[in-house]
A = this chain, B = another copy of it.
């Protein structure tokens, strides 16, 4: 059993992610966020449960679908929303947009738009942690699609050879864009069995049960800090909205009839609410504070300036090139 304060924190963080993503979806059609967005509504428990076991010293890398990871890792809501707007106040000064988030203050190293390509970077970060005898670990968020990239396999192999403190946190939402698992992976293959075959320690946990994820992850991260070697956690979960964009796309028929509804019936947020039955006043206050924070974030983002066009070519290099023209 978890202590109640911690449970409330998990609930709070899931609400933060859900309400933020809902607000992004609501505002997106206004075309002020002029970049592709991949929302995590339905998948909040995985992000929040995993990050609950991590500190700011711990590092995370993520994917195209990273808003939830960033917020759960302690990211700055204002900086996120501003980044989606391409504004100078964004966490990457607008250069990254939704698919390239980063905030070293909270150990959110990078998210990237090339499927799988942040995975080895996370493993390399774990290598540096090991070399420095740090207690910190690195969490690599990945999807069930990213597992298909050879770079996952190569990186996992190396992590196992060197027993690196790295956690592969896999949100298996069964889809890569519109393609179901059966088009992409052998029938009946378990991701945990695959991970074990490669040499990782592996667990599966209900990706819609934030407490279960948090509990398991706490244990696994502790074992990582003890040098037990890399671990893989598979979290079955489900994306509610379209792959990229703000809308519901269930009418397109790429998912079996009723599949979405069945997963919505297992809404991770409602499940947690039902389970811990928070005080109504707490809930109302939390919702209202979140609504205000989110509202304010959008207002600030809209009001913020774009980065100066004059700065467009700055900072390509850390040690500037001296083109001797």
Among B150, B161, B193, the residue within 8 A (CB) of A154 is B150
**A249 part of interface (Cβ distance < 8 Å):** no
Among B150, B183, B189, B193, the residue within 8 A (CB) of A149 is B150
**A315 part of interface (Cβ distance < 8 Å):** no
Residues of B close to A183: CB separation below 8 A: 161
Question: CA A160 – CA B181 in complex, angstroms?
Answer: 13
Interface string of A132-153 (1 = CB under 8 A from B): 0000000000000000111111
Question: CA A197 – CA B152 in complex, angstroms?
Answer: 14
Residues of B close to A160: CB separation below 8 A: 185-186, 189
Residues of B close to A276: CB separation below 8 A: none
Chain B nearest CB: distance from A28 CB in Å? 34
Question: CA A153 – CA B195 in complex, angstroms?
Answer: 12
Among residues of B, the one whose C-beta sits closest to the C-beta of A199 is B186
Count of chain A residues with a beta carbon within 8 Å of a chain B beta carbon: 22
Q: Are A185 and B197 closer than 8 Å at their CB atoms?
A: no
Chain B nearest CB: distance from A168 CB in Å? 14
Question: CA A195 – CA B198 in complex, angstroms?
Answer: 9
Residues of B close to A148: CB separation below 8 A: 154, 157
Q: Are A193 and B184 closer than 8 Å at their CB atoms?
A: no
Residues of B close to A161: CB separation below 8 A: 183-186
Among B151, B153, B185, B196, the residue within 8 A (CB) of A199 is B185
**A284 part of interface (Cβ distance < 8 Å):** no
Chain B nearest CB: distance from A15 CB in Å? 38
Among residues of B, the one whose C-beta sits closest to the C-beta of A162 is B186
**A296 part of interface (Cβ distance < 8 Å):** no
**A114 part of interface (Cβ distance < 8 Å):** no
Chain B nearest CB: distance from A90 CB in Å? 33
**A194 part of interface (Cβ distance < 8 Å):** yes
Chain B nearest CB: distance from A143 CB in Å? 15
Among residues of B, the one whose C-beta sits closest to the C-beta of A230 is B186
Residues of B close to A153: CB separation below 8 A: 150, 153-154
Interface string of A39-55 (1 = CB under 8 A from B): 00000000000000000
Q: Are B157 and A149 closer than 8 Å at their CB atoms?
A: no
22 of the cross-chain contacts (CB-CB < 8 Å) are A148-B154, A148-B157, A149-B150, A149-B154, A150-B151, A150-B154, A153-B154, A157-B185, A160-B185, A160-B186, A160-B189, A161-B185, A161-B186, A186-B198, A186-B199, A193-B196, A193-B197, A194-B197, A194-B198, A194-B199, A195-B197, A196-B197
Q: Which residues on A are within 8 Å of B, measured CB to CB? A: 148-154, 157, 160-161, 183-186, 189, 193-199
